[in-house]
């Protein structure tokens, strides 16, 4: 087997795979031609005193920038939210590559045109449209973001996503007769299916999420960051801490594909053509071996004491196997890793695939750094009253499949490592008490199914008492996931977290990353670079763009960064700050990556495609930035003052008053949007409804 021969592979072969050139679409070529970071237009008001044109900044190499960062930043906070595409939240943010501009020049609105089936069976078209307070846009239903349908929405043509089937592939889920056959009789195209198709094309702006736009306006917004895995939350929560969803495990254990996060769903793939559209488009309802939302394994889940809110996705009948590839919990341990690993209660299972990694990391002799994963509901949370004002259900806000670390046996079966998992209230307590480890580290913070602030959604513009009751009873979450989280409650949590850091001793040594796990299945126009394919031949990495912002005393003010990346970019920033070895270059992971590139059984992509990225992709030479363009060289060098904490804070009464700024956030903050500046007409479909799950048919 090639896997046996890989131990003798040369370093030059590994380097050759890292540096192999990639095929670029025309859009990618344009990306390469523009500056890595640009200023936003109109630096006025509060940002004006802090703005510096990136083009006028001193030229500093990445190595010099990293050295400067290491002197300044010790704490990385990742405020990790759920399920929003970049275009859905920031598609009209000026200076960014969005729906109607590439950041410098207007884009023709017709370029975003998608097909949609009307309820009379005729083929229609739809373009992105803005929703806001009048539609209760903070409270949206969930559109399909599972792996198969996401692949269908992206619609690869010649290995490049066309990004043109979002509406019709969303509504196809609801067609009567066959859930995957759009050739059904016209009468089966229900109003509900059309409303879901429309929902995938809706976008919001600073009226709906003004706090996020405020941070983007004041600090650095990234417009070229993609979700790591084409698919839902679990694989991307895992990728946030490990840079992959299970590709290494697939290669190491091809005889048992279920030994990764790919759950076996034995449903055939069909290739029915969509009427009125050229070519055949698969309408996937499931594929063998797909990355999916799935419960943590028995050995890392409820059986070991990890809290569970409820049986999600089938509970005990649908559990993931133990994950055994390397992630940040290993590399952050540095020279102490061998000792840390010795506390594992099931080493034969948990450590079998990192046998070379452990001595390699330990032998480098590097200082250990701390990590923490704070998630709503993991612990005993404050401010979670039930209808009687008392919280009686333990862990009621906890969503198990959003907790990436617990899928790894070497975390949950190791008391030293599992102690790094906490409840959300613990984050606020630890920051307020200055109780985080003195040496610094990286700390992930997640919301959940309820909100700890005791906030209730605004229902002023509900469509009636039933809709108001539905909103007030079903949108109490604070992690921004549609269907149960209110967007303004969710951004209120982010603002509380930023305020807590800004008002603590950690502000002066902090870098705050606000980002998302995946794109929800909502439309985004930028085609991701496809880095890998799954065992069934569907695109595996990457998926559509997600929002990402960097807040720091040393951040650029009023800037847009265009670095290409995904969740591995956060890992690369952590690697750079703390001198960690890239996950992709660890011995066990590197061997698996080389095996994936050489062994024919893993070549599941189109003809001529080589699987170079069946692992994390956080190493130099890989198409993944390290978020370095977020930082201002002048502030790091010291000839410009760091951004003050007051610049990042939002008043407490503003945070807790819904709707934020009365639903008029753009005018309240003095922010302009690209569609309004261009004078573009906004046409909300007459039959649009933000919560079509309430529609009868």
Q: Lowest-confidence range among 107-111, 250-254, 388-392, 582-586?
A: 388-392
Closest CA to 354 of 338, 332, 370: 338
Give the pLDDT confidence score for residue 269 in this predicted structure: 27
What distances in angstroms separate CA 233 from CA 172, 296, 434, 449, one per listed residue?
22, 13, 31, 14
Provide the angle, in degrees to the nearest 10, between the axes of the packed helices 11-19 and 587-598: 70
- Average pLDDT on 67-75 reads 97
pLDDT at 385 over 90: no
pLDDT at 315 over 70: no
On whether the CB atoms of residues 332 and 371 are closer than 8 A, the answer is: yes
Q: What percent of the chain has pLDDT over 90?
A: 68
What distance in Å separates the CA atoms of residue 217 and residue 194, rounded to the nearest whole number? 35
pLDDT at 401 over 50: yes
Break the chain into its structural domains and give their ranges: 2-66+75-314+322-509+549-606+669-692
pLDDT at 293 over 60: no
Give the pLDDT confidence score for residue 272 in this predicted structure: 36
Give the pLDDT confidence score for residue 539 in this predicted structure: 92
On whether the CB atoms of residues 138 and 659 are closer than 8 A, the answer is: yes
Condensed to tens digits (0 to 9), the pLDDT of residues 183-199 reads: 444 446 789 999 999 99
Give the pLDDT confidence score for residue 257 in this predicted structure: 52
Q: What are the residue ranges of helices labelled H in 604-669?
A: 633-637, 645-648, 652-655, 665-669
- Average pLDDT on 305-319 reads 56
Instruction: Decide which of 18 and 541 is more confident.
Output: 541
Local structure of residue 463 (DSSP, 8 states): S
Condensed to tens digits (0 to 9), the pLDDT of residues 464-504 reads: 899 999 999 999 999 999 999 999 999 999 999 999 999 99
Looking up tokens 């790094």, which residue turns up?
Answer: 420
Give the pLDDT confidence score for residue 695 in this predicted structure: 85
What distance in Å separates the CA atoms of residue 476 and residue 492, rounded to the nearest whole number? 12
Condensed to tens digits (0 to 9), the pLDDT of residues 593-629 reads: 999 999 999 999 999 999 999 999 999 999 999 999 9
Instruction: Decide which of 234 and 311 is more confident.
Output: 234
Give the pLDDT confidence score for residue 397 in this predicted structure: 86
Condensed to tens digits (0 to 9), the pLDDT of residues 224-276 reads: 999 999 988 988 999 999 999 889 988 888 866 533 333 333 222 223 334 43
Contacts of residue 82, Cβ cutoff 8 Å, sequence gap at least 6: 233, 402, 447, 479, 480, 481, 485, 516, 517, 518, 520
Q: Which two tokens stand for residue 36?
A: 């890595």
Closest CA to 587 of 96, 322, 252: 252
Residue 220 φ then ψ, to 5°: -120, 125
Condensed to tens digits (0 to 9), the pLDDT of residues 412-461 reads: 899 999 999 999 999 999 999 999 999 999 999 999 999 999 899 999 99
Give the pLDDT confidence score for residue 147 in this predicted structure: 85
| Count of CB atoms situated within 10 Å of the CB of 484 | 18
Give the pLDDT confidence score for residue 531 in this predicted structure: 96
Residue 421: exposed, middle, or buried by beta-carbon count in 10 A (0-12, 13-18, 19+)? Answer: buried
pLDDT-based confidence at 302, cuts 50/70/90?
very low
* Averaged pLDDT score across all residues of the chain: 85
Condensed to tens digits (0 to 9), the pLDDT of residues 198-228 reads: 999 999 999 999 999 999 999 999 999 999 9
Local structure of residue 273 (DSSP, 8 states): B
pLDDT at 521 over 90: yes
Give the pLDDT confidence score for residue 176 in this predicted structure: 52
What distance in Å separates the CA atoms of residue 555 and residue 37, rounded to the nearest whole number? 12
pLDDT-based confidence at 384, cuts 50/70/90?
low
Pairing of strands 75-81, 290-291: unpaired
Signed CA dihedral, 42, 48, 54, 56: sign only = positive
pLDDT-based confidence at 32, cuts 50/70/90?
low
Q: What percent of the chain has pLDDT over 70?
A: 82
- Average pLDDT on 88-92 reads 98
Closest CA to 529 of 91, 24, 114, 100: 24
């Amino acid at each position: 087997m090639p896997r046996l021969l890989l131990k003798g592979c040369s370093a030059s072969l590994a380097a050759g795979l890292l540096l192999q050139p990639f095929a670029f679409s025309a859009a990618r070529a344009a990306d390469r031609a523009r500056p890595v970071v640009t200023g936003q237009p109109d630096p006025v008001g509060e940002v004006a005193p802090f703005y510096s044109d990136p083009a006028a900044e001193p030229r500093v190499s990445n190595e010099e920038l990293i050295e400067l960062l290491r002197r300044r930043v010790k704490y990385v906070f990742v405020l990790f939210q759920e399920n929003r595409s970049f275009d859905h939240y920031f598609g009209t943010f000026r200076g960014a590559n969005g729906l109607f501009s590439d950041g410098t020049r207007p884009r023709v609105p017709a370029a975003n045109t998608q097909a949609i089936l009307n309820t009379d069976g005729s083929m229609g078209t739809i373009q992105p449209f803005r929703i806001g307070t009048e539609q209760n846009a903070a409270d949206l239903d969930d559109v399909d973001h599972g792996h198969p349908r996401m692949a269908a929405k992206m619609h690869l043509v010649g290995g490049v996503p066309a990004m043109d089937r979002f509406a019709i592939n969303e509504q196809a889920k609801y067609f009567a007769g066959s859930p995957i056959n759009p050739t059904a009789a016209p009468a089966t195209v229900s109003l509900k299916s059309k409303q879901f198709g429309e929902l995938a094309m809706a976008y919001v702006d600073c009226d709906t999420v003004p706090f996020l736009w405020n941070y983007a306006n004041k600090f650095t917004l990234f417009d070229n960051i993609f979700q790591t895995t084409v698919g839902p939350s679990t694989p991307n929560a895992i990728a946030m801490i490990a840079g992959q969803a299970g590709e290494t495990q697939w290669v190491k254990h091809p005889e048992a594909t279920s030994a990764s996060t790919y759950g076996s769903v034995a449903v055939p793939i069909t290739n029915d053509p969509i009427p009125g559209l050229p070519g055949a488009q698969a309408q996937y309802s499931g594929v063998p071996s797909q990355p999916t939302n799935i419960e943590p394994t028995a050995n890392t889940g409820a059986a070991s004491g990890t809290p569970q809110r409820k049986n999600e996705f089938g509970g005990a009948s649908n559990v993931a196997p133990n994950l055994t590839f390397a992630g940040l919990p290993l590399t952050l341990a540095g020279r102490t890793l061998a000792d840390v690993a010795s506390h594992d209660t099931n080493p034969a299972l948990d450590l079998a695939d990192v046998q070379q990694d452990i001595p390699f990391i330990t032998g480098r002799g590097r200082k250990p750094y701390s990590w923490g994963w704070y998630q709503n509901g993991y612990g005993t949370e404050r401010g979670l009253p039930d209808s009687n004002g008392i919280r009686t259900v333990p862990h009621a806000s906890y969503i198990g499949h959003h907790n990436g670390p617990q899928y790894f046996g070497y975390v949950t079966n190791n008391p030293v490592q599992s102690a790094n998992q906490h409840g959300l209230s613990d984050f606020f307590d630890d920051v307020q008490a200055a109780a985080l480890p003195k040496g610094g580290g990286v700390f992930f913070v997640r919301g959940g199914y309820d909100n700890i602030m005791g906030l209730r959604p605004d229902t002023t513009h509900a469509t009636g008492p039933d809709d108001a009751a539905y909103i007030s009873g079903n949108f109490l979450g604070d992690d921004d996931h549609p269907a149960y989280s209110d967007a303004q409650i969710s951004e209120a949590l982010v603002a509380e977290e930023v305020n807590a850091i800004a008002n603590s001793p950690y502000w002066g040594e902090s870098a705050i990353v606000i980002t998302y796990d995946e794109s929800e299945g909502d439309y985004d126009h930028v085609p991701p670079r496809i880095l890998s394919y799954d065992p069934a031949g569907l695109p595996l990495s990457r998926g559509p763009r997600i929002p990402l912002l960097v807040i720091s005393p040393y951040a650029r003010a009023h800037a847009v960064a265009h670095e290409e990346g995904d969740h591995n970019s956060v890992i690369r920033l952590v690697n750079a700050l703390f001198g960690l070895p890239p996950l992709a270059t660890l011995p066990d992971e590197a061997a698996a990556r080389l095996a994936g590139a050489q062994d024919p059984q893993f070549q599941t992509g189109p003809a001529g495609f080589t699987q170079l990225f069946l692992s994390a992709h956080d190493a130099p030479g890989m198409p993944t930035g390290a978020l370095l363009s977020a930082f201002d060289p002048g502030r790091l060098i010291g000839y410009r003052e760091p951004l003050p904490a007051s610049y990042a804070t939002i008043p407490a009464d503003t945070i807790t008053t819904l709707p934020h700024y009365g639903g008029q956030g753009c005018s309240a903050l003095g922010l302009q949007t690209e569609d309004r500046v261009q004078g573009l007409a906004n046409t909300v479909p007459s039959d649009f409804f933000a919560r079509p799950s309430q529609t009868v048919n």
